Structure formats: C-alpha cells, structure tokens
C-alpha cells in the first residue's frame, strides 16, 4: 500500500470539481476537532522495547482473554501448541511484532493495539454508534448496541477491530484502554504498568507529546524527529517514537495522511442531507415532470409519446 | 393494452424442485452460521470482514433490483405508457430483490436480533446508517406499489372457507379501502421510490470510501456515489430485458422482442453517461495507467470496463436491438459488468497486503445460491397466482 499525498490532493480536486449529488460546498475535510487536553494516551518508544511481551501477558490477564492456539497445530500435530499469536484477534488485544526495517536492517519491536484515534474512523462508520470516543480519550465499544455488521473493521485504517468468528453471537473485540478495569480507578493501563523497559509511557496525550519531543531533543542520535500519531489520521491517542533513518511504514505504521480517514464520507453524507435539500429538490423535479406528462395526456387524450 | 393475469400453471415443476433443493442446502449451512458462528461456514477473516454475502447479496442485489425504479420512472413519471407491460414484473422483482437484500443482511449481521437498532440508535456520520434507512423505506414503498396487484386479484372475490367466512366482508372492505386510497396516492409513492433509490444506490458507492488506504485507486474516487447511481440506472433496463427473456423461454410465452427492443434504445444513453463519468474521473485523477499494470485489480478493471463498453456500442445499433439473442447477450453483459464492479469495490479492489486473502467458502456460495433460488421461487409463485404478466 503506497499512499502518496498526490492521490489525496487529486481526490480533493475531483471532489470539489464534481457535482456529487448537488454539492454546495467543496468536499474538503471539515476542520479537525480540537484535541481534548484531558485525553489520555500512551507513548510507545520502539527504541526502548526489548520484545519481552510482558505487556501482552498483562493485557490477556487484565481482560481475562482466553489463550489461543494460532497455527492450527491441533490439525497438524494433534495437539495445541501455544506460541505467540500472529496478529490481533478476538483474543489478543495487543501484540509485539518484530519488524525488520529495510533501512539499516535492525530488528525493532513494535507494539500494536487500538490507537484510540482522536477522530476514530470506526466511530464515524458504526451504524448505531456502538464505538465512541470517551472524555478520557478511550475509544470504547458497547457490545449491547452493536449489530455485528463489521463496518468498523473496514473503516479502521489500522485494521484493529476484531470479530469473534467462532461465536454464535459474536461481538467486536479490541483494546479497551483498560477503561472499565483500571482507568476508572485512576490506575494506568495494564500493559504500560507491566513494561520492564519503560517503553510504554501512560499519561495525558498533550503531556506525552511534550515528553516525546523532549526525548528527541535530548538524544537526536537515538530518535527520529517525528512523533508518529501526533498528526496521522487526525491524531491518535497512542504515539510512537522510532530510531532515525527508519521509515515508520516499514515498522507497520503506514505513512497516513494528516487528515481524518472519514473526512470524505462524512462530507458527502453531509452534503446530501444538509437540510434535506437535494432529496426534496429531486422529488419536486420528478413530481413536476410527472404532473406535466399526466396533464398532457389528459389534454391530448393520447399516450405519452416516445421520441427517438 | 392487454390486461395482466395470473399464469395459473402447475406450480411444482422439476425446476421448482431444483429451487427447493438449493434452498434446503443453504438452510443447512445457515444453521451452522447461526449456531456455531461465522467461522464454521465462511472464510471471512480480519482483513476481509465483508464477503460475498455483502458484495453479492447486498451490493449486487440492490443494484440489480434497479429495474424497479428505472421502469417506474420511465413509464409513470416520464409518461412512456407503451412500456406499461414491463412495470409490474419490474416492481415485483424489485420487491423480491430488496426483500432478499434485507434477509441477506439479517444473515450477515453478527447480532441479527439487534437489527432494529439501526432505527433507534442514530449515527448520522455513518453511510451504512443512511443505506439502512433508505433500503427499509424503499422496501416499504415497493410493498405498497405491489398492493394493487393483490387487490385486483382478490377484490370482489374474497371467499374464505368455513369458519373464516365471517371475515369475508371485512377483508373486502379492507381491499376496497386500499384500492381507493392507493389510487389517489400512488403517484406519491412512485416518486418517493425513485428518490429513495437515488439515495441508497449512491450511498452504497460512498460506503467503501471510508477506507482510503485499503481500496484501490481505480475505484477510490469521490465520484463513486455518482458512478454507483449511474451504473444502477444503466442496469435497470438490462435487468428487465433479462428477466422478460427468461420468462419467455421458461414459461413458454410469446417473445416481447418488439417492446424490449424499443425500450432498449434508452440503455446506450445511460451507459454512455456512466462511461463518460468513469473515464473522465480516471483520466482526471491520472490513475488510468494502473489499469494496465497487469495486477489482479488492473485486469479486473479492464474486464469490468469491457462489459460496460461493448454493449454500449452494440445497443446503439437498431439491428442488434431487434435481435432477441443479441439483445439478451448485451443485457447480460451490462449485468455482469455491474456485478463485477460491485465485487471490485467491495472485495477485489480491497488491497489488504499479500498476507491476506479471501475466497468464498462452499457454505457462503450455498447460502448465496439459496437466496437466489428463494427469489426465483417467490417470483414463480407470484406470477403464477397474481396478475403480473400481461395476457397474450
Ligand atoms: S485504531 Fe481503529 S479501532 Fe482504534 S480508534 Fe482508531 S479507527 Fe478505531
Ligand atoms: S460491527 Fe458493531 S461496532 Fe462495528 S460498525 Fe457494526 S454495529 Fe458498529
Ligand atoms: S490498554 Fe489495556 S486493553 Fe489496551 S493493550 Fe494495554 S492492557 Fe490491553
């Protein structure tokens, strides 16, 4: 997936030039919401992570997630073998992946989990609003509201939400930010507490950005001058630092645009339903044509003609 | 103008038993889906949460049911009364189509029992929310548009057996009332149907725009809603032609070639608009080259495009329109083009990286075939017992 800024510029241009369903305003993304200074987040420092997976274990314990056998060994070996999972799943909310960056070839451990975006695409997409950004910064999921349509899985640029494929009554599963179990009691997330290397810093997002900047400034040899997630997809609650001369994309953190993912769909939706003008207009025009044709028929006493 | 009448054939022909067989097979797989989870039946996975139940049953289902609103618009709104014979079957198939779309959604929802949440818990930013509302309202409108057929069949003839006989009078009264009210308000519903169709046909095109980093450049365009709408309009008449041709063969009726050839003259107009928008958009965004890079997506696009473009040039010629077989093939080509287009947007164009793939399982196919069979089954039943097709 190679996403260039060009693609987006062109798309913006097409959108403003087009007359998609009687657009009045150009389809520029609406202004980004001002990030709430109260939002909590995590700063994942990939230069510090030693790949011990203590966070993974802590997360499993905290969320009481069942163990999982990931390689289908039961079928191949005759019994289950429990190795590190290959990807996020309904039983794995966070995962340490070893990424071999092309540049420098150094192995880097990168934690994956829900990014708790400032402008979550999943929440914009969810048909019933089962996913919502909370005041404390967590993007929370309500399984009682959810219909299981899986549109959030399509929408999330990081492919975070997972589905319980094996359950008769499946729910969406993803990192909860330990909202119910720990944040409520004022405790930091389980994964950040468990980390022995200080690679996960928990705190207010605004503070974390300051800390990140400070680390970059103090040790420019060690850090790349970029805080991933500060701006990407409109900002994320979980931020990343990496070594210099290393593409974040090769660490599994794609070079996403700074605008929100749901900007285009939301502005199209907006234009169609702004005061219901377009539907009402179409209705009136069609009504007018129908009326005209019926009058003509009545007056002329003939069937509607067809001209070629 | 001929009157429509029930066919009143013997219903349980071998073909009908075949349909029942397909429905039964699908039901078995559906049992596992409902009681043992998606994993037991489908090949869906984290990277491909939408499979053919969405790409075909829902996305294609909605597009292919466009025959209803296009025919209704041409005949009732634009007053081309001579195509009157085509309206009833088109409205009926649209109703069946949308009914099946609703059923397919129900099968595809993890928590199907929460389906009503879409009506209660609103999330205005969700494209799916709008699609859900439009589809539901339009299904209602289609139901209403079909009532006159039922009224016509039973009015003045309600004759319930035995105990139920006391309901004869109220039923008659109800039918009479419906007839009365509908006669006066039908225009309202016809236009509402067209407006609602515009709404959700285009919104289906907006749906995958939520995933700019997943959907391939060839399909990721802000024009997508307009392209979905114009392609749906383009496939409306080909669907009518397709169904009428099949009905001719299967029910051994006289071919309506004259009428179909005549209405087919509108198809190039719609197709032309669509093709112009499509090419213009690709050229403007400068992604046309990607169509020729030999990738799966590129090739899939080329096939899709050919399926639209060939019938466009063919159907411009009167001689071809007047040839029943060629007309049928052209209609089929447009239909396949739309089907492939929807697959491209919902599945093939979703570029999830090399480590992920999806191909529908036997169970997914079986359930999809069951839906198709069920649709044909209802259609067969309706034309047999209700005045849908015109007498010959
Ligand atoms: S990472 Fe994905 S699931 Fe998490 S908040 Fe962002 S869009 Fe939603
Ligand atoms: S699966 Fe549930 S949470 Fe996800 S979009 Fe659908 S209703 Fe919302
Ligand atoms: S915040 Fe909580 S749920 Fe999320 S990865 Fe960390 S421990 Fe798991």
Cβ separation of A125 and B210 shorter than 8 Å?
yes
A1 pLDDT more than 70: no
Closest listed ligand to the CA of A140? 1
Q: What are phi and psi of A139, to 5 degrees?
A: -95, 105
A181 pLDDT more than 70: yes
Q: How far apart are the first and last CA of chain A?
A: 48
* A-to-B residue pairs, Cβ atoms closer than 8 angstroms: 227
Residue pLDDT, tens place only, A204-244: 999 999 999 999 999 999 999 999 999 999 999 999 999 88
Q: What is the mean pLDDT of each run of 10 residues along chain B (392 residues)?
A: 75 86 94 92 92 93 91 88 86 92 92 89 88 90 88 77 78 83 82 89 92 92 92 94 88 84 91 94 91 91 95 90 91 96 94 84 94 92 86 74
Q: Say what the pLDDT of residue B159 is.
A: 73
Tell me which residue in B49, B79, B117 faces A304 most closely, judged by beta carbons: B79
Q: What is the ipTM of this complex?
A: 0.89
Write the residue with the smallest CA distance to atom 6 of ligand 2: A149
User: Which ligand 2 atom sits nearest the alpha carbon of residue A161?
Assistant: 4
CA–CA separation, B200 and B306 (whole Å): 26
Residue pLDDT, tens place only, B172-205: 888 888 888 877 788 888 888 998 998 899 999 9
In chain B, which residues have their Cβ closer than 8 Å to the Cβ of A257? 212
User: Which ligand 3 atom sits nearest the alpha carbon of residue A200?
Assistant: 6
Q: Check: CB of residue B88 under 8 Å from CB of residue B383.
A: no
Paired sense of beta strands A40-45 and A238-241, if any: parallel
Q: What are phi and psi of B11, to 5 degrees?
A: -80, -45
Residue pLDDT, tens place only, A271-291: 776 667 778 888 888 888 888
Read out DSSP for B337-389?
A: HHHHHHHIIIIITB---TT------HHHHHHHHHHHHHHHHHHHHHHHHSS-S
CA atoms within 13 A on the CB side of B52: 19
Q: pLDDT band at A72, cuts 50/70/90? A: low
Cβ separation of A269 and B127 shorter than 8 Å?
yes
* pLDDT average, residue stretch A112-125: 94
Predicted TM-score of the model (pTM): 0.88
Paired sense of beta strands A139-141 and A162-163, if any: unpaired
CA of residue B350 to ligand 1 center, whole Å: 18
CA–CA separation, B381 and B252 (whole Å): 16
B324 closest CA partner among B386, B256, B234: B256
Q: Which two tokens stand for residue B159?
A: 């004759």
Closest listed ligand to the CA of B129? 2
Q: Check: CB of residue A11 under 8 Å from CB of residue B285.
A: yes
Q: Which two tokens stand for residue B34?
A: 């409902």
Tabulate helix, strand, coil % of chain A (nearest 5). Answer: 35, 15, 55
A170 closest CA partner among B102, B128, B114: B114
Q: What residue ranges define each of the domains in chain A, with the CATH number in brackets?
A: 1-32+277-299 (no CATH), 33-65+79-259 (3.30.70.20)
CA of residue A268 to ligand 1 center, whole Å: 21
Strand order in the sheet with A40-45: A200-204, A40-45, A238-241
| CA distance to partner chain B, nearest, from residue A221 (Å) | 32
Q: What residue ranges define each of the domains in chain B, with the CATH number in brackets?
A: 14-159+168-385 (1.20.1630.10)
Q: Say what the pLDDT of residue A32 is.
A: 56
CA–CA separation, B109 and B55 (whole Å): 14
Q: Which CA distances in Å does B227 have to B127, B204, B282? A: 16, 10, 12
| CA distance to partner chain A, nearest, from residue B262 (Å) | 10
Q: Does B46 touch chain A (CB under 8 A)?
A: yes
Q: Check: CB of residue A235 under 8 Å from CB of residue A32.
A: yes
């Amino acid at each position: 997936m190679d996403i260039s800024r060009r693609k987006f510029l062109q798309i913006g241009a097409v959108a403003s030039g087009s007359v998609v369903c009687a657009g009045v305003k150009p389809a520029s993304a609406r202004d980004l919401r001002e990030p709430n200074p109260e939002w909590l987040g995590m700063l994942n420092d990939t230069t510090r992570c030693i790949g011990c997976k203590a966070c993974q274990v802590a997360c499993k314990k905290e969320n009481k997630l069942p163990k999982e056998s990931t390689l289908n060994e039961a079928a191949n070996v005759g019994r289950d073998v429990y190795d590190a999972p290959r990807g996020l799943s309904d039983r794995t909310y966070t995962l340490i992946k070893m990424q071999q960056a092309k540049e420098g070839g150094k192995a880097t451990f990168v934690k994956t989990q829900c990014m708790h975006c400032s402008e979550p695409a999943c929440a914009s997409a969810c048909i019933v609003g089962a996913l919502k950004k909370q005041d404390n910064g967590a993007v929370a999921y309500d399984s009682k509201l959810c219909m299981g349509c899986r549109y959030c899985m399509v929408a999330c640029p990081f492919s975070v939400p997972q589905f319980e494929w094996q359950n008769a009554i499946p729910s969406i599963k993803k990192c909860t930010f330990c909202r119910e179990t720990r944040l409520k009691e004022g405790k930091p997330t389980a994964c950040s507490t468990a980390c022995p290397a200080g690679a996960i810093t928990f705190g207010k997002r605004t503070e974390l950005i300051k800390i990140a900047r400070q680390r970059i400034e103090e040790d420019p040899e060690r850090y790349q001058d970029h805080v991933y997630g500060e701006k990407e997809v409109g900002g994320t609650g979980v931020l990343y630092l990496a070594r210099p001369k290393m593409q974040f994309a090769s660490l599994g953190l794609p070079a996403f645009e700074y605008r929100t993912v749901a900007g285009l769909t939301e502005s199209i939706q907006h234009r169609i339903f702004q005061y219901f003008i377009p539907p009402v207009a179409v209705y009136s025009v069609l009504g007018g044509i129908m009326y005209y044709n019926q009058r003509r028929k009545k007056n002329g006493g003939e069937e509607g003609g067809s001209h070629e | 103008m001929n009157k429509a009448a029930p066919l009143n054939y013997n219903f349980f022909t071998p073909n009908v038993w075949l349909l029942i067989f397909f429905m039964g097979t699908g039901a078995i797989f559906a049992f596992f889906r409902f009681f043992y989870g998606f994993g037991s039946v489908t090949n869906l996975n984290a990277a491909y949460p939408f499979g053919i139940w969405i790409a075909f049953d829902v996305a294609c289902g909605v597009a292919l049911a466009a025959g209803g609103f296009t025919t209704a618009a041409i005949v009732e709104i634009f007053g081309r009364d001579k195509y009157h014979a085509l309206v009833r079957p088109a409205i009926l198939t649209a109703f069946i189509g949308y009914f099946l779309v609703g059923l397919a959604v129900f099968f595809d929802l993890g928590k199907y029992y929460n389906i009503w949440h879409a009506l209660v818990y609103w999330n205005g930013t969700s494209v799916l929310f709008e699609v859900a509302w439009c589809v539901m309202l339009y299904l209602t409108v289609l139901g209403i548009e079909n009532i006159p057929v039922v009224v016509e069949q039973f009015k003045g003839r309600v004759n319930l057996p035995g105990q139920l006989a006391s309901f004869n009078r109220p039923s008659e009264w109800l039918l009479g009332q419906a007839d009365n009210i509908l006669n006066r308000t039908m225009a309202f519903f016809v236009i509402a149907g067209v407006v609602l169709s515009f709404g959700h046909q285009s919104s289906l095109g907006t749906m995958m725009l939520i995933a700019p980093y997943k959907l391939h450049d060839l399909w990721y365009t802000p024009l997508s809603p307009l392209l979905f709408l114009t392609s749906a309009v383009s496939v409306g008449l080909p669907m009518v032609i397709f169904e009428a041709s099949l009905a001719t063969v299967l029910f051994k009726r006289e071919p309506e070639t004259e009428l179909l050839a005549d209405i087919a003259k509108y198809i190039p107009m719609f197709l032309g608009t669509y093709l112009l928008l499509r090419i213009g958009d690709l050229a403007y965004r400068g992604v046309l080259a990607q169509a020729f890079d030999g990738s799966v997506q590129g090739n899939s696009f080329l096939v899709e495009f050919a399926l639209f473009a060939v019938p466009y040039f063919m159907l411009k010629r009167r001689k071809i329109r007047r040839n029943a077989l060629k007309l049928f093939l052209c209609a089929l080509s447009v239909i396949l083009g739309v089907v492939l287009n929807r697959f491209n947007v919902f599945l093939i164009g979703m570029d999830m990286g090399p480590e992920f793939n999806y191909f529908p399982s036997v169970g997914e196919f079986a359930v999809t075939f069951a839906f198709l069979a069920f649709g044909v089954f209802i259609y067969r039943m309706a034309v047999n017992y209700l005045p849908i097709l015109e007498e010959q």
